[in-house]
Structure 1
């Protein structure tokens, strides 16, 4: 069974101060509000491992407080936590916005580490849209920002190690598992620079969980070993399973599925599913459903296959809109950046013209021509990037079409639910034209919207082609479609 870890790794940024793992300081009434805010931010970061939505709710109040007291460090930590929330929810659109907000504040406050984190999270949003090469560039830039920072600082160590984890995730999605393992081990080297103690043990708890993931593609025994090592290293003060344990359960479920020990595999995968739902994390949920579907196929368990396939399709449709919106936002950011570059070039150009205009009119004219050619070339490149990005978007749309059509082929009652999720305005627009359309007629129009031929509709609905032609004729009359207009073109415009 081939493993697929696209957008599977849960990337954790342990911002929690190392001191919280090595010692417990006594507290008294003389503590300042700033220290109290720090402690509550630490608690909020821990909560993100077990209850994302509650952590998000608390985060908003903490951010307002940080702004009121002017605590820049706390503000940046909370903005980074927002990025982490949207990543775990696999909310590509929210992640683009959150990483942009973090980047702007980090630049304003001259904080290289937070600028680096913003680039790492931007890379994650690019990966959600399969822009892997762009993601690798952002990750490389993130590392460059940390070159001049103190390499023994725990925050810098954490950030570097997680950039390497993000590199590993990228190479895993590019089907380069051995390179992914190498990058993960570079992250492990950063962890080993932390002094021995509870915090070091916590990082190794995280490290073994992540490393096991990347071995899955070519060495399931190593995956099982590292998952079990991670479980052994789970801190005793974590009284309930967290997102790291979620990954361990999923890794073991996939290992036992490959071993054909399906009962044990399902036991671990059920733990993974329930924990993902409890935490509110979507990153691992798709991989859990995919593995359960594969097991159901091998066991010829039709009911389980339908159930988990339905859950997977619902999850994909839920995430399609945010990917679509995030892709458009990425394109708009590129346009804005290009516009800023062009504006700066234009200002430089006119200054240059002002200086040399008295020397040589001929040089000025030649320079103007060169400049215009450069501008034209840049706009051509921008158009090319826009078209390439839209091709990616169309691939995503094609995937949704295929999912809906697959339900039609199986005569699944959930067909119209999935169709309306993919085309939310179609039914309403149709009923505005003729409110008296019957439910069956609306469903028939949906089949035409999917560009199914007369022969395909007859095959999937088990009726005669002549019956399909008659239905088309009736739809024409009810919707007043002119005889000289193709019915598919007309339906496509609804």
Structure 2
């Protein structure tokens, strides 16, 4: 999975010909470099961040913090990504940058996925989308951020072995891409879009996977000076397709291209998947030499990720040229490490306690709802046709759903907003689903959400509407 870049195509892929390049332009050049040379981009990033802080350029600073998150994501460094996403969120909040707060939530979700906390990641992605509800939906930067969130959704469902939902989410990202005006940047987004679809279709349709990978290759922008991470993904998709078709020579050809490009760029996520597929090919071919070779490389890569933190700390020490002895540095590093571990364990305990409390509350409210729906499952005959018509629109994810709902219940929305005029559009729509007596399971199914996400939304609605703890939310909504 790869995110789209936030700058315009011309800013990313065409060199600035001015003698003096502004800090903002150098930050965008840094984004370009991340596609082809991660480590080189990281070095530049650190220097640019120092300059941005020195001249108090907050826009450049926050873009560089987002670049830092992207670096740790592509290196698959969960520890670094948690810290980087938290720093980005705090700064975005300080500078009142809603879009960047949303991006920080997206990267936090990615760090949770590295630790297989998929349900928590989905909640963070929902939070990221909610932050953008009041923003201009036609702004290219907002479009770009929403599309990236849908890409992250797609990747999550792919990792949950739900490839069909992953493809559906990626296509939602494609709908956002289509809002971008035609031109070079739109072409670049299509290049990215088909590459990601090639990966997600791999879960259930090899032919579609191969089609989209080749489509992406045909759309490679002419402005690119060399192959990038997107092309790497295309090689990986085709390698996996040929491996599944047992055409091992073709599979090896594309996987070798994927490996070489991943090593050149310094990108670890796809390199690990490439080695895993090469190991599968070696097993099928019965080639013990290749099996040993790629198992060794995969193991080395995993060890590198474990050691990445220590290596980066050594680089910082060298750059700052500290005068303290090596032993003192090691002691300080060890002390800091234990402090971080203790803080981390404490945070985990607190989070678990909150989750257990939330689960208990959710269970209580769900039982109340179950009792109410069982006692009130019969709809009056004169309203049954209206209910069924509106529910059918919900099932189809039809935008006309709220129009028909408001026709059927003309006073509901106004009465709801009188209780709390700060309710967002999405929250009003969610209350409409409750008005239709749709269960948690049904809402999760029709809106492609996790049941836990629906429960959290119910909990948030209860708080905003001040619904008493002993009253069921459906019963309360029914009275509006």
Q: TM-score, normalised by structure 1?
A: 0.63
1:170-219 deviation line (CA, Å, top 9, x unaligned): 00111100000000000000000000011100000000000111000110
What SS class does the counterpart of residue 151 from structure 2 fall into?
helix
> Closer, same or farther in 2 for the Cα pair 1:380/1:46, shift >3 Å?
closer
Cα distance in 2 between the residues matched to 1:329 and 1:234? 46
Return the structure number with greater relative CO, CA threshold 8 A, min gap 6. 1
Q: 1:260 aligns with which of 246, 250, 269?
A: 246
Structure 2 residue 59 is matched with structure 1 residue 73 = yes
Cα distance in 1 between the residues matched to 2:107 and 2:132? 15
Alignment partner, residue 297 of structure 1: 283
Tell me if structure 2 keeps the 8 A contact 1:257–1:265.
Answer: yes
Cα distance in 2 between the residues matched to 1:172 and 1:73? 34
Cα distance in 1 between the residues matched to 2:341 and 2:296? 26
1:128-170 deviation line (CA, Å, top 9, x unaligned): 0000000000000000000001111111111000000000000
What SS class does the counterpart of residue 284 from structure 1 fall into?
helix
Displacement after TM superposition at 1:80 (Å): 0.3
Displacement after TM superposition at 1:25 (Å): 8.1
What SS class does the counterpart of residue 258 from structure 2 fall into?
helix
Tell me if structure 2 keeps the 8 A contact 1:21–1:198.
Answer: no
Alignment partner, residue 397 of structure 2: none
What SS class does the counterpart of residue 319 from structure 1 fall into?
helix
Pairs aligned (count)? 331
Tell me if structure 1 keeps the 8 A contact 2:11–2:29.
Answer: no
Q: 1:190 aligns with which of 172, 176, 183?
A: 176
Alignment partner, residue 32 of structure 2: 46
Cα distance in 2 between the residues matched to 1:329 and 1:240? 43
Cα distance in 2 between the residues matched to 1:306 and 1:328? 39
Structure 1 unaligned blocks of 5 or more: 1-8, 30-34, 339-376, 385-494
Q: 1:124 aligns with which of 96, 110, 113?
A: 110
Cα distance in 2 between the residues matched to 1:220 and 1:12? 23
Alignment partner, residue 120 of structure 2: 134
Structure 2 unaligned blocks of 5 or more: 310-336, 361-480
> Closer, same or farther in 2 for the Cα pair 1:237/1:83, shift >3 Å?
same
Displacement after TM superposition at 1:21 (Å): 6.8
Displacement after TM superposition at 1:286 (Å): 1.2
What SS class does the counterpart of residue 203 from structure 2 fall into?
coil
Displacement after TM superposition at 1:332 (Å): 4.2
Tell me if structure 2 keeps the 8 A contact 1:129–1:327.
Answer: no
> Closer, same or farther in 2 for the Cα pair 1:13/1:99, shift >3 Å?
farther
Q: 2:139 aligns with which of 137, 153, 175?
A: 153
Tell me if structure 2 keeps the 8 A contact 1:21–1:199.
Answer: no
Displacement after TM superposition at 1:316 (Å): 2.4
Q: TM-score, normalised by structure 2?
A: 0.65
Aligned-residue CA RMSD in angstroms?
2.7
Alignment partner, residue 86 of structure 2: 100
Alignment partner, residue 226 of structure 1: 212
> Closer, same or farther in 2 for the Cα pair 1:332/1:248, shift >3 Å?
farther
Structure 2 residue 233 is matched with structure 1 residue 247 = yes
1:243-277 deviation line (CA, Å, top 9, x unaligned): 00000000000111112111111011001011111
> Closer, same or farther in 2 for the Cα pair 1:14/1:331, shift >3 Å?
farther
Structure 2 residue 6 is matched with structure 1 residue 15 = yes
Alignment partner, residue 207 of structure 1: 193
> Closer, same or farther in 2 for the Cα pair 1:332/1:19, shift >3 Å?
farther
Structure 2 residue 268 is matched with structure 1 residue 282 = yes
Map 1:312-351; keep pairs closer than 5 Å.
312-320=298-306, 331-334=345-348
Cα distance in 2 between the residues matched to 1:261 and 1:277? 24
1:225-249 deviation line (CA, Å, top 9, x unaligned): 1001101111101021100000000
Alignment partner, residue 153 of structure 2: 167
